Amino acid sequence: MPPEPSPPGFDEPGSDRIGLHIRRVPGSRFPLQVVRSNGLPEIPLTVFAGEMLTMLSGGSAYAYLREIVLFANWAARDSVAGAHAWRLYGEPREVRNLVHEYLTRVGACRVAQRPDTLGIRVSYVNTTDGTRINVRLLLAALKKLYDILKDCNLYAHPNPLVHADASRAMAEFRRGQRAAVEAVAGRLPMPPVSGVDPPPPDIRLSENYFRLVNREWQPRSIDDPDFPSRVYAAGKQHGWGLREVCAARTLLESGARISEVFALTAADWSVSSFGNRFSACNKGSFGQRVKTLVISNPTAKLYRRYFDEIRTAPSDARITVSSLARMQRNDSQQLAQIRIFLTARGNPMTARLFRDHYWRPALRRAGIEADPHTCRHWFVTNAMRHLEQSATCEAELARHKQELIEYMAWRSGEQTLRAYEHVERGHTFVTRMQSIHREMGKRERQTAKDLADDAPMPMAALDPSVDQDLAFLLGEDNDD
């Protein structure tokens, strides 16, 4: 089976030569391969790709490998790296210098060295508004790369992404913790799940040499009831067809990720007899269908119209919803091979194609700054508002929140939901501020009136500027 070419635009534009690049070879022992410009395989990175495929889904393994290849191609061309002879497979000092140079020059990050909680000197990485690389993914991929190469005897040095003194410092810290508990309680510490000892201090111990400064994740609260209508209007103005409308409505009505929508097959749709429900994969589920997406009945009708009237199949015979129903009765396994969203040439449509050529141009033309994932935030924000307003008691609210967590298939559901609750309740409080301010104004005027009644004084003795300032603060002045 001939290898598939790597995606277009993978190599950096404008490069003098093509360095390492990725190709897919389905059916091979190494389905993801990294090859050099002369066609020979880059063995260490190909081995790394093969090992990653045993741990992660194909899409995640490719993402890790892509970051490594982009980093390696840059290192081969960079003048500073060449002048200092820093190598990808060099000793830890060389690799760390390479990573530092890449983060600051290509990633536009700020990197500062300082001691951590345990006193070991590490590099802290801060992203900036100019950062256009996935720093977290890059650092994780590099650390895993050297772990795998060392296990396979393809790298002769300690892992450059792991601080040499980290294990010693962490062991000393834990010994100190045990000694402190033993000195106070006269016994060794109990496991945290026992509840006997107070919870340990919130200190995160890390062995990483490069540490991305954590910025607390906050969901984007999309408090715009008209957001879906604005999206649909933008799509109509841009010329979206039925396929794009179905995809956009699914994003907004189901809360699905864009990758989940464009991975849907006829088998996923058949769970509702081609109605308004789909089975779907989840992030990290390795393609297994572990959750359900629900859309509205009008959108389900649009799906059936798309299949019957618009969708172009790779074969000459058009596949309709009626033929899907016959396949479900006669050969249901065939449905898993039928992707719902296809291009005009009959190839599976990808999330990237929809985002770059349909979603982004339409919304930018309409002056809307939102990516497809914004639909997921809007869905959760809207659901949270509905739950807060419809619940009659705390028990009912808690039950509905748990149902939302299960529907979204969040791994850390309580933590994620608390983040949305923080946003939603913060917005709710802001909307209440007007009534709070009105009440403050009433009390202030009443107090002034009471003081005037209790201690009358000549009008000439009153400073007119005080009344004017108060009127201005309360928004009651007539001076335009």
Q: What is the pLDDT of residues 425-466, one digit of tens each?
A: 545 544 555 565 666 667 667 777 776 666 554 444 444 444
Token pair of 14 as six digits: 């404008």
Q: What is the pLDDT of residues 199-214, one digit of tens each?
A: 666 566 789 999 998 6
Q: Residue 296 to residues 293, 303, 321, 395: CA-CA distances in angstroms?
A: 10, 11, 18, 28
Mean pLDDT across the stretch 271-290? Answer: 84
Question: What pLDDT is attached to residue 331?
Answer: 81
Mean pLDDT across the stretch 286-290? Answer: 78
Q: What is the pLDDT of residues 344-372, one digit of tens each?
A: 888 899 998 999 999 999 999 999 888 89
DSSP conformation letters of 204-240 = ----BSEEEPP----------TTHHHHHHHHHHHHT-
Supply angle C-alpha 93, 56, 415, rounded to 5: 90
For residue 479, pLDDT over 50 is answered with no
For residue 119, pLDDT over 80 is answered with yes
Of 59 and 264, more confident: 264
Hey, which of 87-96, 188-197, 322-331 has the most confident mean pLDDT? 87-96
Handedness of CA 466, 467, 473, 477 (dihedral sign): negative
Query: β-strands 121-126, 210-212: how paired?
Result: parallel
Phi, psi of 432 (to 5 degrees): -85, -10
Q: Residue 380: how many CB atoms within 10 A of its CB?
A: 24
Of 232 and 4, more confident: 232
Question: What pLDDT is attached to residue 413?
Answer: 59
Question: What pLDDT is attached to residue 187?
Answer: 83
When the pLDDT of each residue in the chain is averaged and rounded to a whole number, the result is 81
For residue 157, pLDDT over 70 is answered with yes
Q: Is 295 helix (H, G, I), strand (E, B) or coil?
A: coil
Q: What is the pLDDT of residues 212-260, one digit of tens each?
A: 986 554 555 566 788 899 999 999 999 999 999 999 999 999 989 999 9
For residue 103, pLDDT over 90 is answered with yes
